[in-house]
Amino acid sequence: MMPKRSVFIGGGGPSGLAAALLFHQLGWDEIVLAEARTGPGDFEKNRAFNYQIDARGQKLLKRLGINDRMPAIGVENTSFTATKIGPDGKIDVISPPFIDPDRQLAFWSTRRLLLGMLHDVIMERNDGRIIMLYGHSLGGITRTADGAQIHVAAPDGSEKIFAPDLVLACDGLTSALRTSAQALPEVPQGHFAMVEHPSISAELQYKVLNLPAQFPANGGKHQVDNSAMTYIFASSFTDSRRTCTLFSYPVTPGQPRTVNVIREQDHVVWTYTRPEDLMAYLVEAFPQLDIPALISMEEAQDFVDLKPSRFPIPQYSRNLHANLGDMDLLLIGDAAHAFPPDLGLGVNSALEDLHELANCLQGTADHAAGVAAYARARLPQSAALVRLVQTVFPEQYNTRPWAMRKWLARFLVKRALRPVLPWLIDKPDFILTQDPDLDFVEIERRKLKTDRNLARIGAGALALVGLGALALFR
């Protein structure tokens, strides 16, 4: 007979809710989840994210038997097509060559719908082993004479204390569980220090605007009504401090559309403190849209009141696991590795973390050995993932057009040389990251090999040109 096992999950985002389902499936006896928000449907204006749940993230959903619920909350896609509407009314339907033609089915969904689906499944399957503590703030981990303990503040101000066998830190980049554990005497100094890899997309600021599900553009000549389509609205401005492109990704039919405003910190859009000033800017920037009809003054007020969020510097924790004596702590998702959304691997890598953890825990009574094995195997993947995000496609926000043109040139060169020199040049690395059967260490290895060979080919070509020039002047 297996001993009773308990797990505490800090954080009720996608990885936290999925972890609760996973440990329920694994047969653990007590699963406690604590989340500061009052419920899964709490709307966080600047976290109205659009997720693309790809085949990497779907591995866990299939394991949990819930992947068949994705069509109800998401939009299926295997390619990327966008309708670009310019300030002059020009419409272009574009299919950038950046998507793997063999890409498996993915689903566009919203954070809110994904959380709702995961919570619904928990409620359906819960047989009393899952304890959901919404509205509870994490106080961290302390060491007492009785062992390591987790402190949680209840909504009424009282404190709950837990001493589980395993703690999963699913509480994000600023993880209270990771930070408090680092202060314990048994955790070596710097054990959970974050290793940063600066990127040009890091520190970009963003806010989100909500638009209706459907609306006219170009004075009613075009309808924004295809929920499976990405829409791109280019602005009339060209100078870097005022230009802005609005991106609206596919959305579940009937759900409001969101547009992401992503710009550098000195952009004029962050300076507005009055809704009237924001509206005046948007009207001038996007003449192809009837801004007063699409954005209410209340929405504009919310936008200017909201502090812009920033993309994090790509970073990973030096270690993913710590044994606290009678308790093990494990970092999952953003608590272990955080980065800008350049590759769409945030939520997908977090779900894959849990899938790989399940592989290490499946069928074993020694959860401590399984957790340690997971941490040893996953840490190199976490580090490689962060380095890939740093280097593969940080230029995509086009805040520096010259950098985007340089990236595009390298992408097209790799794509052109691949059929000619397949033993030297691999697929472009952005395409490699879309293959769920490749782990991040292998993707990085193949990327670096191609980059080295490409540099050698370039050096050889320059040498030949130089020799040819010398011959001409002899």
The rounded distance, in Å, linking the Cα atoms of 282 and 237 is 11
What is the average pLDDT value for the chain, to the nearest integer? 92
Q: What is the pLDDT of residue 359?
A: 96
Q: What is the pLDDT of residue 47?
A: 61
Confidence tier at 436 by pLDDT (50, 70, 90): very high
* pLDDT (mean) for 255-264: 89
Is residue 278 pLDDT above 80, yes or no?
yes
431 CB-near residues (< 8 Å, 6+ apart): 98, 99, 100
258 CB-near residues (< 8 Å, 6+ apart): 48, 50, 110, 208, 209, 210, 211, 248, 251
**Burial status of residue 347 (CB atoms within 10 A of its CB: 0-12, 13-18, 19 or more):** buried
Ranges assigned E (strand) in 293-426: 309-310, 315-317, 321-323, 328-331, 337-338
* pLDDT (mean) for 365-372: 92
The rounded distance, in Å, linking the Cα atoms of 124 and 225 is 34
**pLDDT per position as a tens digit, 6-40:** 999 999 999 999 999 999 999 999 999 999 999 98
The rounded distance, in Å, linking the Cα atoms of 230 and 94 is 10
Q: What is the pLDDT of residue 433?
A: 96
Confidence tier at 399 by pLDDT (50, 70, 90): confident
The CB density around residue 445, as the number of other CB atoms within 10 Å, is: 14
The rounded distance, in Å, linking the Cα atoms of 274 and 52 is 34
Q: Among residues 136, 148, 65, 54, which one has the least CA distance to residue 343?
A: 54
pTM of the predicted structure, to 2 decimals: 0.94
| Beta-carbon-side half-sphere exposure of residue 192 (alpha carbons within 13 Å) | 25
Which string of b and e fits 270-308 if b means at least 16 CB within 10 Å? Answer: bebeebeebbebbeebbbbbbbeebbeeebbebbbeeeb
Q: Pick the range with the lowest mean pLDDT from 47-56, 64-73, 122-131, 134-143.
A: 47-56
